[in-house]
Structure 1
Amino acid sequence: MLGHLRSARVVALGGGHGLAASLSALRLVCDQVTAIVTVADNGGSSGRLRGDYDVLPPGDLRMALTALCDDSEWGQTWSDVLQHRFTGDGDLSGHALGNLLIVALWQLHEDPVTGLDLVGSLLSARGRVLPMAAVPLDLVAEVSGLDPQDPTATSLVRGQVAVARTQGLVESISLVPDNPPARPESIAAVEAADHIVLGPGSWYTSVLTHLLVPELRDALTRATARKVLTLNLEMHTAETRGFSAARHIETLHALAPDLRFDFVLADPSTIEDHERLERACGRLGAELAVAPLARLDRAGEHDALRLAAAYRDILS
């Protein structure tokens, strides 16, 4: 069965550090991993390049590529080069070199996926990285609790960075444009997948965003692959303040009620109400799988080997 998993086609969806964690684990047990990455980032180097050149934000795409890089000296060296961030007070300050390389390739090649494939070749990446949508997106959240005079009043917060840092409670999210086209390569990867992994990652800004792209959500719903939802190690972030593990699942189910999973993977430290969590998993048609996933030396970070072992057990 492990040999079958090694040759299986696996798709992982998310963004940022959460997706990088799942990719770092999956590449240890699978040879054919495709990452489908959110493209709503509007902060830092990605936000600057997006504004200057009207391109997809490259940062999360870069992180996914480096997470899939080969373990050889060549792969690790180029991974470090792409992750290098310029310091100082000049125009390049704050930019990651990999972001600049990706945008340069996008200017040389009309198709952005071609540029990403070229970076993957440079890294000897163990897989492929694709954007979830064909155009840059803006995340918009309806947030309550920002008005001290009326805590029930809602306000609109626009932009991934603003939503991630909001002091209010996110009630709902949407995208601008509201019906963005998906990349056909991403849809094809989902349709061909043997296994699909969603999460971990910032819940509203990296995980649920994929379900706001109608073509992608429909493809995930139709897919016959075995599907795993990976929960975060930290439940109470700025954008999910007060959320339990079950509440995370409930928000996903509300956004995509027809989407079914086979397993929900959770670290035991995140389970506050086991019965409620199992009920929430049941709404997704999923079995709850509990395994230690955290690094012993850094709270809140997934351990690649532990996560790989959990994926191996579930997917094989």
Structure 2
Amino acid sequence: MPRRTVRLRRLVGPRGAQPKVIALGGGMGLSASLTALRRITGDLTAVVTVADDGGSSGRLRDELGVLPPGDLRKALAALCGDDDWGRTWAEVIQHRFESKGDLHEHAVGNLLIVALWEQLGDHVQALDLVGKLLGAHGRVLPMSAVPLELQALVRGHDPAEPEALSTVRGQATVALTPGEVQQVHVVPHDPPAVPEAVEAVMDADWVVLGPGSWFSSVIPHLLVPELLQALTVTKARKVLALNLAPQPGETDGFSPQRHLEVLARHAPKLAFDVVLADQDAVPDQDSLREAAQRLGGTVELAPVAAPDGLPRHDPELLAAAYDRIFRMHGRIGPWR
């Protein structure tokens, strides 16, 4: 089937303002949202999880006591433009060294971000400076100013004891558990939110949560009390973007509606206006609509998957879905 061309133009209001959009998540799921959203608004902020403890990020976190920079780096790369400058810098900061020494598998962007943190002593200022260097189409913020440890209550983490409950520690371990995750929390249990992240949520026209690893990238935002409070009381409209398929280990066997149910269990007062899902990834649309209604929202089904059959979002199709949602589902804020 030939690829459909999606024609998009940035949303603007009668006074020329664009919608203020904030996207929350981590990893490749957040990158997919940002790559799509930067096509339709120039006022875009990413708020990123800081619980990663694997790979280059985990090594820098353990050795230097810094926030894990990896998901922040990925968000910055996703905000790079499609011109030569943007593509070049996106490739540079994503580049990983290959060696037999200590630099092996470290990402250039991780080292750059940590170097600026040490030079400037300010997480937000350093990330803003990296974004300026890259020509990023938006801003990237950590959700908390302290590195967090993700812990999960898992049933059957040990395959030899399929009914036993155990506590699993660390984002990398939680993401790959063969058991069924029941609940997650973070340590420290009352982490401080980055003030600029809270301000961005309160000032937004639209908030987008997901897609991404449900227990290790999406739900952790709801475990930062100040951030959850802001998400609960903001006047912004809220979109919950679902994954294209369950994630092996973390959400293996989950239906789309099950994703909504576990999110509601972690934040029972949080409502959403729209639940976005790929039209081919929802075998039981009625059950998903019922689950969305319990969150206060409606379901939007759209073709957002890449045409190659892999469980990844197509940036243009996802942008078209967000564009349609923003235009159709209520209007608030000065940009309109």
Corresponding position of 1:249: 260
1:250-289 → structure 2 map (5 Å cutoff): 250-289=261-300
Contact 1:12 1:34 in 2 (8 A): yes
Decide which structure has greater helix share.
Answer: 1
Contact 1:165 1:239 in 2 (8 A): yes
CA distance in 2, matches of 1:54, 1:147: 31
Corresponding position of 1:312: 323
- What are the ranges of 5 or more consecutive residues in structure 1 without an aligned counterpart? none
1:1-316 → structure 2 map (5 Å cutoff): 2-4=11-13, 7-147=18-158, 150-316=161-327
* Partner secondary structure for residue 111 of structure 2: helix
* Partner secondary structure for residue 53 of structure 2: coil
CA distance in 1, matches of 2:310, 2:102: 35
* Partner secondary structure for residue 80 of structure 1: helix
Q: Identify if the C-alpha distance between structure 1 residues 194 and 151 changes in structure 2 by more than 3 Å, giving closer, same or farther.
A: same
Sequence identity percentage: 57
**In the alignment, residue 191 of structure 2 is paired with which amino acid?**
P
**In the alignment, residue 252 of structure 1 is paired with which amino acid?**
L
CA distance in 2, matches of 1:307, 1:149: 41
Contact 1:174 1:212 in 2 (8 A): yes
Deviations 1:6-41 (A, max 9, x none): 711100000000000000000000101000000000
TM-score by length of 2: 0.92
Q: Identify if the C-alpha distance between structure 1 residues 147 and 222 changes in structure 2 by more than 3 Å, giving closer, same or farther.
A: same
Displacement, 1:79? 1.4
Contact 1:6 1:31 in 2 (8 A): no
Deviations 1:137-192 (A, max 9, x none): 00000001134564322001000000000011101101000110000000000000
- What are the ranges of 5 or more consecutive residues in structure 2 without an aligned counterpart? 1-9, 328-336
CA distance in 2, matches of 1:24, 1:197: 13
CA distance in 2, matches of 1:60, 1:178: 21
CA distance in 1, matches of 2:225, 2:65: 23
Aligned pair count? 316
CA distance in 2, matches of 1:113, 1:66: 16
Q: Identify if the C-alpha distance between structure 1 residues 167 and 11 changes in structure 2 by more than 3 Å, giving closer, same or farther.
A: same
Contact 1:179 1:214 in 2 (8 A): yes
**In the alignment, residue 54 of structure 2 is paired with which amino acid?**
G
Displacement, 1:268? 1.5
TM-score by length of 1: 0.97
